[in-house]
Amino acid sequence: MTYTTQMDAARQGLITREMEQVAAKEGIVAATIRDWVAAGRVAIPANKRHRSLDACGIGTGLRTKINVNLGISKDCYDIEQEMAKVRRALELRADAIMDLSSFGKTAEFRAGLLALSPAAVGTVPIYDAIGFYDKELQEIRAEEFLEVVERHAADGVDFMTIHAGLNRDMVEKFKRNPRLTHIVSRGGSLLYAWMELNGSENPFYEHFDKILEICREYDVTLSLGDALRPGCIQDATDACQIQELITLGELTRRAWERNVQVMIEGPGHMKIDEIAANVTLQKRLCHGAPFYVLGPLVTDVAPGYDHITSAIGGAIAAAAGADFLCYVTPAEHLRLPTLADMEEGIMASRIAAHAGDLAKGLPGAAEWDRRMSQARVALDWESMFDLALDPAKARRYREESRPEHEDSCTMCGKICAMRTMNQLLKGGATL
């Protein structure tokens, strides 16, 4: 039997190599993965041309995954530096990497990324269109936007952010419902400008069937972008955000009818007490499709620390059912992230994802923490390092400040609670 996409195979009852890879990583039988892909609750981004891919699954019942954003820009055009980030992101076990390049030799960077990365690779084609055609935004034709989508698919990109929910009706709704920070999605703002300048419909919405044909041919997963995500606390959960979400739910059904896999992108900036309700709303309106969130950032006043504001929101979102966290670095809102910024963002996002998995009760999540606790009570430093999310940092901190007593650290020394209790419970003298 032949199939066009992972969803097509699943609906035919087939188990693909990619489904087997996901099953092995998650500790779930492959037939269950197949059934979840068939229903749309799990997506396996796996372009047929991404030869180096080691597939991962994203969706309900699986570990919360994290994405790392990279890419070259006009002000920071250093392909080698971005490739160094790719290598480090893979070392730190990022599940996916998005190339957000917006200037210059984007194809060269994308080819290098796809050749190197076993993690899923995503792009936002509209970012590339302006540089690729070397035209003013207004001059780009609708069919040219679609040509960039096809070029990225042919290159081997596994998932693409397509802002198809921002149609003419949504533009009018946006005008009737003013926001403090307007449209903060880069792709959304570009499309809004293009639509207004040309008096035309969003080409990604108008020609959505053509996009589905491209995605089906190469098995590209659609990441339906939230052009109207809130860019500040005040704009969260407003009429524009929710109306776009309804449209994304309709587009999800259209994609599934063509056996195209879908993820839904979500907010954004949002108060803590709104996050769980937003996850529930997305899952309901978008029929259980995997939910991919940027943060959410739970306050607007922490530039330089937005990896923390994002991790707080990401943990809450993951616990409530979000499936995929887009990392945020300390450089958010300020500059292109450095390698060090990226590392901090990845670790903050991985902590949030695991915290969410603990709350979800995913098999194996609590066992990891139990083993760390066993190592701590035994004062087994090597096991603690091995179990740590970042073993190198944990080991470095220990080495930088050696204690007098090896069964303690320099915080507590001989009055370490673990040391005291171990000695007492073994019947020995303390202190």
Contact yes or no for 323/296 (Cβ under 8 A): no
Q: Is there a binding annotation on residue 287?
A: no
Q: Is there a binding annotation on residue 192?
A: no
Q: Is there a binding annotation on residue 182?
A: no
Using CA atoms, how far apart are residues 135 and 205, in angstroms rounded to an integer? 22
Peptide bond into 118 cis (omega under 30): no
Q: Is there a binding annotation on residue 416?
A: yes
Using CA atoms, how far apart are residues 277 and 237, in angstroms rounded to an integer? 10
Q: Is there a binding annotation on residue 327?
A: no
At residue 30's C-alpha, the angle toward residues 25 and 33, to 5°, is 85
Length, in residues, of the chain: 431
Q: Is there a binding annotation on residue 347?
A: no
Q: Is there a binding annotation on residue 369?
A: no
Q: Is there a binding annotation on residue 163?
A: yes
- Ramachandran angles phi, psi of 69, nearest 5°: -90, 135
Using CA atoms, how far apart are residues 389 and 92, in angstroms rounded to an integer? 9
Cβ neighbours, 10 Å, residue 281 = 17
Q: Is there a binding annotation on residue 156?
A: no
Burial of 276 (0-12, 13-18, 19+ CB in 10 A): middle
Q: Is there a binding annotation on residue 8?
A: no
Q: Is there a binding annotation on residue 392?
A: no
Q: Is there a binding annotation on residue 409?
A: yes
Ramachandran class of 199: left when φ > 0, alpha when ψ lies in -120 to 50, beta otherwise: left
Cβ neighbours, 10 Å, residue 169 = 12
Q: Is there a binding annotation on residue 87?
A: no
Which residues lie below 8 Å from residue 385, measured CB to CB, with a gap of 6+?
391, 394, 395, 398
Q: Which residue has the tokens 């059934």?
A: 35
Q: Which residue has the tokens 């390092």?
A: 385
Using CA atoms, how far apart are residues 191 and 196, in angstroms rounded to an integer? 8
Q: Is there a binding annotation on residue 292?
A: yes
Q: Dig out the tokens for 267 from the structure.
A: 């907010």
Using CA atoms, how far apart are residues 186 and 343, in angstroms rounded to an integer? 24
Q: Is there a binding annotation on residue 98?
A: yes
Q: Dig out the tokens for 332 from the structure.
A: 């958010």
Using CA atoms, how far apart are residues 379 and 391, in angstroms rounded to an integer? 16
Q: Is there a binding annotation on residue 127?
A: yes
Q: Is there a binding annotation on residue 326?
A: no
Contact yes or no for 351/390 (Cβ under 8 A): no
Q: Is there a binding annotation on residue 200?
A: no
- Binding region for substrate: 69, 98, 127, 163, 185-187, 226-229, 265, 292
- Binding region: 69, 98, 127, 163, 185-187, 226-229, 265, 269, 292, 333, 409, 412, 416
- Binding region for Zn(2+): 269, 333
- Binding region for [4Fe-4S] cluster: 409, 412, 416
